[in-house]
C-alpha cells in the first residue's frame, strides 16, 4: 500500500505544471522582464532608492505605532489623533509606492509593463 501511495505521489509530481516556477519564482524578481543592460542599471539604482524609502517608512511606522499607543493609553481617547496618525502613515506608503511605480514605468517598455503589471501587488507596501 505504501509503495502504491509513493508511486502515485511521484507520478503526480512528474505531471505537475512547473511553468509558473520557471517564469517567475522569486518575490520581487524582475528576471522575467528580460531587461537590457541599461534597464538593469536603472532598475538597480531604483531598487536601492526603493529599499531606502521602505526603511524610512518602517521607521516612521514604528514611531507612529508608539504614538498611537501613547494616545490610546492617555486619560482621554482622541479619535482624531489616531485618524491623523493612520492618514500620515497611509500617505507615506502611497508616496513611496507611487514614486517607485512611476520610475518603473519610465524604465520599462510597453511589453515589459504588461508583464510587470501581473506582479504589481508584490510591490505594495504593507
Pick the CATH number of 31-123 from 3.30.70, 1.20.120, 1.10.3470, 3.20.20: 1.20.120
pLDDT in tens, 77-121: 888 899 999 999 999 999 999 999 999 999 999 999 999 999 898
Find the length of the chain.
Answer: 126
Q: Residues 51-76: what's their mean pLDDT?
A: 93
Inter-residue contact 32 to 24 (CB < 8 Å) = yes
pLDDT in tens, 10-49: 666 665 555 444 444 345 788 888 999 999 999 999 999 9
Closest by alpha carbon to 96, among 52, 30, 43, 61? 52
User: Which pLDDT does position 76 carry in this prediction?
Assistant: 86
- In terms of pTM, does the model score above 0.75? no
Per domain, the residue ranges of the chain are 31-123
CA atoms within 13 A on the CB side of 99: 16
Amino acid at each position: 500500500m505504501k509503495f502504491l501511495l509513493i508511486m502515485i505521489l511521484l507520478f503526480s509530481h512528474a505531471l505537475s505544471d512547473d511553468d509558473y516556477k520557471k517564469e517567475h519564482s522569486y518575490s520581487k524578481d524582475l528576471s522575467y522582464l528580460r531587461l537590457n543592460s541599461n534597464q538593469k542599471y536603472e532598475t538597480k539604482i531604483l531598487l536601492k532608492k526603493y529599499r531606502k524609502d521602505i526603511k524610512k517608512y518602517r521607521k516612521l511606522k514604528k514611531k507612529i505605532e508608539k504614538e498611537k499607543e501613547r494616545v490610546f493609553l492617555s486619560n482621554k481617547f482622541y479619535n482624531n489623533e489616531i485618524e491623523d496618525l493612520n492618514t500620515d502613515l497611509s500617505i507615506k506608503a502611497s508616496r513611496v509606492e507611487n514614486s517607485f511605480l512611476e520610475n518603473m514605468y519610465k524604465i520599462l517598455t510597453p511589453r515589459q509593463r504588461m508583464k510587470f503589471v501581473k506582479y504589481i501587488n508584490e510591490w505594495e507596501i504593507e
